[in-house]
Structure 1
Amino acid sequence: MPEEQTLVIDHLQKDSTLPVMPNPPLLTSQKSGWSSIHLGHFRQPAWELPKFSSLQHIISIPIALHHTVSVEFVLEGHLHRIQYHPSDRIDGCVEIFPAGPCSKISWDKEIDFTHFYLEPTFVSQVAHEAIDPDHVELLFEPKKVDLLVYQICLALKADLDVDGSGNGFYADSMATALSAHLLRHYATRKHTLQEYEDGLPKHKLQQAFDYINEHLGEDLLLTEIAAQLHMSQYYFCRLFKQSTGMTPHRYLIQQRVERAKQLLRQPELTVTDVAMACGFANQSHLAKHFRQHTGVTPKQFRKM
């Protein structure tokens, strides 16, 4: 009999999962502003995937809904049998699949799972000062308790759940933290990320402030700011927080809310106009962060 063909899957392409899974995703980041990481949330019946090769690393959160689900993986000729239980979500169980071929995955009952897809080049370049991109490989982990990975993934899904649009800057930030953690703990070779204690030089910090404030109304990405400062996303995030006490994403949202306060004083602008001008995805996105920072909604603020 002829050898089974390996299906190569680019998970960043639209409808890429349909050839191998019976049901389309219940939630996807395909139409979001995400660039560094992508998400697909699925509910699938008992199934066996054909032999495939993934172009991306996959971080998976499997959720056995109301029963135990038995899963089999065959990777590099080795068979792994795992059981998932409804209580696993409390423990923070995740799966890590490195980019490359997988000859078999099957499960015996309906299961929910959320996939997060990371480009290998992004993972290796997150901290390019310390890492040779040609020597970054991740380990296969079929069932691993890792609360940090679990919480990062849940936070990303929650951000997308709010209105389906997501936040590209936030996704960039979380993807950077996730990639750094993977490099430290799940790489085939040990990668040491150099630590700094003094934060950003004053001129670099001001450069970051200026760039963020000049582009508040745009779909700003973390990669763009780090590139302006000629450093990796990982080190920019760490040094910015050391200098300011807050993450770049929190600073961005704070500045957008401050800009929104100014624009809301202009009665000819609708709340939607203000949201768009300040870089929020829509009116509800503005309302969510405005209320978190001020304790009132934009409409209530206009009446004050």
Structure 2
Amino acid sequence: MPRAKLITVNAAHDESILKVLPSLPVLSSQATSWNEIQLAHHQHLAAFETPEHCFPQHFITIHLNHAPVKKERILSGESRCDRFREGDICLTPATAPVSVRLHDACEVMGLYLDPALMTRLTADVAGVNGLDLVPQFKLNDPLIYQIGIALKTKLETNGVWDRFYAESMAMAISAQLIQHYSTRHLKVRNYANGLSQARLQQAIEYIREHLAQNPSITEIAEMVEMSPFYFSRLFKQSTGLTPHQYLLRCRIEQAKQLLKATNLSIATIATQVGFVDQSHLARYFKRQVGVPPNQFRA
């Protein structure tokens, strides 16, 4: 009997997942400006089994169910079975043929990483071209788990506009995979002196001039002729803040100026400085300033 054709599931399109799963995700990053990483949160209400399929992205499954769930996986012909609970993680490399059977209802989050990002990072962090990820059936990695939860929280709270944050998290996960779950176990090279003053000033000016345009780390890194990974690391060494944290601080400072110097509505100010809406501004404003925008203006 001829073997069934391998199904390709593209995480960039929610409908594609219906080729192998019984329902669409309850939360997805499909409509966001995220590029290097995608997220899908699934609540499976009953047991199910998938046909053999593959992803063009590296696929990380993070279990969120509190009760243990029996799970079987066949990956590249190798069968494994175990019980999974909250925090347990699976890693399936891009294009690897896989099928899964879950024996109970469960809640999972899928993270899908662009292999091109991994390729660029491998060259950046270790100076080598290419490496393979080693499939992981069940692992415990607090860093990957916490990044996944942080991305999910960001998506639940107006994260659709936050390319800086998603890019930073994608690079952090990729660096973790390169160092701990690859065929080479590469080490990330360290630089101690931060950005040059000229590059730092150039990056800061670009961020301040593009608060409302949702800039990306990649754009700024290319402008200062650096890789996104090392730009992010050296920017933090120079400023004490990640690019995302610095962007938020600039947006809040600009909002403070507009609140005091103009009669613009808070909703208008929010969009002018790069927040999704008034509630998005209010949440970060109170966190950094200590009072909501309306009290600050009074």
Give the TM-score band, short-chain normalised: over 0.9
Distance 1:151 1:221 in 2: 22
Give me the whole-angstrom Cα distance separating, in 2, the residues matched to 1:232 and 1:140. 27
SS in 2 for 1:115: strand
Partners of 2:162 and 2:23 in 1: how far apart?
26
Superposition map of 1:279-294 within 5 A: 279-294=274-289
- Cα distance in structure 1, aligned partners of 2:161 and 2:88: 24
Conservation of the 8 A alpha-carbon contact between 2:59 and 2:113: yes
What TM-score comes out, normalization by structure 2 length? 0.95
Instruction: For 1:249-268, list aligned pairs within 5 A.
Output: 249-268=244-263
Q: TM-score by structure 1 length? A: 0.93
Structure 1 vs Structure 2 CA RMSD: 1.6
1:96 maps to what in 2?
A: 91
For 2:26 and 2:174, how far apart are their aligned partners in 1?
25
Q: Is the CA contact (8 Å cut-off) linking 1:199 and 1:242 kept in structure 2?
A: yes
Partner of 1:47: 48
Give aligned pairs, total: 297
Deviating more after overlay: 127-136 vs 68-77: 127-136
Match status 1:23 vs 2:23: yes
**1:188 matches 2:189:** no
Any residues of structure 2 matched to 1:81-120 within 5 Å, and which?
Answer: 81-85=81-85, 89=86, 92-120=87-115
Task: Tell me if structure 2 keeps the 8 A contact 1:124–1:133.
Answer: no
Alignment partner of 1:145 is 2:140 = yes
Compared CA separation, residues 278 and 128, structure 1 to 2 (3 A)? farther
Of 265, 268, 281, 1:270 maps to 265
1:14-48: CA deviations, max 9, x gaps?
41111211111100011122122110000112111
Distance (Å, rounded) in 1 between the aligned partners of 2:88 and 2:269: 41
Residue 225, structure 1, aligned to residue 220, structure 2:
yes
**Structure 1 counterpart of 2:238:** 243
Query: Structure 1 vs Structure 2: percent identity of aligned residues?
Result: 38
1:57 — aligned with what?
A: 58
Contact 1:160 1:166 in 2 (8 A): no
Bigger drift between 167-176 and 123-132 goes to: 123-132
Q: CA 1:76 to 1:14, structure 2 compared with 1: closer, same or farther past 3 Å?
A: closer
The residue aligned with 2:7 is: 7
Q: What is the CA-CA distance between 1:276 and the residue it aligns to?
A: 0.7
CA distance in 1, matches of 2:107, 2:61: 10
Contact 2:14 2:24 survives alignment (8 Å): no
- Aligned to 1:112, what secondary structure does the other structure show? strand
Question: CA offsets per residue over residues 47-93 of structure 1, 9 Å max, x none?
Answer: 1111111100011111334x3311111112111111113xxx3xx32
Output the CA distance in 1 between the equivalents of 2:141 and 2:185.
18
- 1:71 pairs with 2:71: yes
Q: What is the alpha-carbon distance in structure 2 between the residues aligned to residue 129 and residue 188 of structure 1?
A: 17
Q: Where does residue 216 of structure 1 map in the other structure?
A: 211
Cα distance in 2 between the residues matched to 1:6 and 1:111: 25
SS in 1 for 2:96: strand
Contact residue 29 and residue 166 of structure 1 kept, 8 A: no
Once residues 260 and 103 of structure 1 are traced to their aligned partners in structure 2, the CA distance between those partners, rounded to angstroms, is 49
Alpha-carbon deviation of 1:131?
A: 4.8
More off after superposition, 132-141 vs 7-16: 132-141
Q: Could you tell me which residue of structure 2 aligns to residue 206 of structure 1?
A: 201
Cα distance in 2 for partners of 1:295, 1:68 equals: 41
In structure 2, what is the Cα distance between the partners aligned to 1:133 and 1:22? 40
Q: Distance in 2 between matches of 1:170 and 1:76?
A: 34
What is the deviation of 1:132? Answer: 6.4
Q: Structure 1: any 5+ residue segments left out of the alignment?
A: none
Q: For residues 163 and 187 of structure 2, what CA distance do their matches in structure 1 show?
A: 27
Q: Supply the distance in 1 between the matched residues of 2:233 and 2:122 (Cα, whole angstroms).
A: 11
Q: Considering fraction of residues, name the structure with more helix.
A: 2
